[in-house]
């Protein structure tokens, strides 16, 4: 592992940008291709947006963990909300409740998310909530950049413990 970053964030849309920013920083330093960096940012943004829009947790917080390895980044987002099972989500393009008490056509986010990921797993969090774990393979600007990342990828990678952001 090169680095493990854990963010404990309020369920507030402003903090989706924070998580996206942190997801980008190390990837830029490692000279990952910009298209891959944007994919990772979009994955993180969609995962955070889903929690903020749908989790409805009593804790009003969620955790984003970014684990950087030479070949991939592993993104895990955990909430303590009402939870869901992937198979129970209505198909893309069907009507569903919106946040204002009305209805909207939806279901596009998970499809986009799944299209950007190399692997995705959904699990129920005990006693409630959802954990989504995503793997995204990294593509580097040059072979030397990949080799440099390999040299940084050790079993004792840097760990940044929970970074708690307070809502103002």
What are the DSSP E strand ranges found in 87-153? Answer: 94-97, 103-106, 119-124, 130-137
Q: What is the pLDDT of residue 163?
A: 44
Kindly tell me if the per-residue pLDDT of 108 is higher than 90.
no
> Hey, which residues does 106 pair with through a beta bridge?
94
CATH number for the domain that contains residue 67 = 3.30.565.10
At 69, list the tokens: 């390895």
3-class DSSP state of 6 = strand
Tens of pLDDT along 119-154? 999 998 878 899 999 999 999 999 999 999 999 998
Higher pLDDT, 53 or 156: 53
Total domain count for the chain?
1
Q: What is the pLDDT of residue 165?
A: 47
Structural domain harbouring 40: 3-164
Rounded mean pLDDT, 25-49: 96
Kindly tell me if the per-residue pLDDT of 81 is higher than 70.
yes
Closest CA to 43 of 68, 70, 11, 73: 73
| Band of residue 168 on the pLDDT scale cut at 50, 70, 90 | very low
pTM over 0.75: yes
Helices 34-50/14-29 angle, 10° precision: 150
At 10, list the tokens: 């309020």
Q: What mean pLDDT, rounded, does the chain reach?
A: 87
At 28, list the tokens: 């830029």
């Amino acid at each position: 592992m090169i680095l493990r970053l854990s963010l404990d964030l309020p369920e507030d849309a402003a903090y989706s940008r924070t998580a996206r920013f942190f997801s980008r920083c190390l990837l830029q330093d490692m000279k990952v291709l910009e298209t891959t960096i944007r994919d990772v940012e979009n994955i993180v943004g969609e995962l955070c947006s889903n929690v903020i829009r749908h989790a409805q947790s009593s804790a009003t917080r969620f955790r984003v963990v970014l684990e950087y390895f030479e070949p991939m980044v592993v993104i895990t987002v955990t909430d303590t909300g009402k939870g869901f099972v992937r198979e129970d989500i209505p198909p893309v393009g069907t009507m569903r409740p919106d946040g204002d008490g009305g209805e909207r056509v939806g279901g596009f986010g998970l499809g986009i998310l799944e299209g950007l990921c190399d692997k995705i797993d959904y699990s129920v969090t005990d006693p409630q909530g959802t954990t989504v774990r995503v793997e995204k393979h990294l593509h580097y600007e040059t072979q030397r950049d990949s080799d440099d990342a390999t040299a940084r990828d050790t079993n004792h990678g840097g760990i940044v413990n929970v970074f708690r952001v307070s809502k103002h």
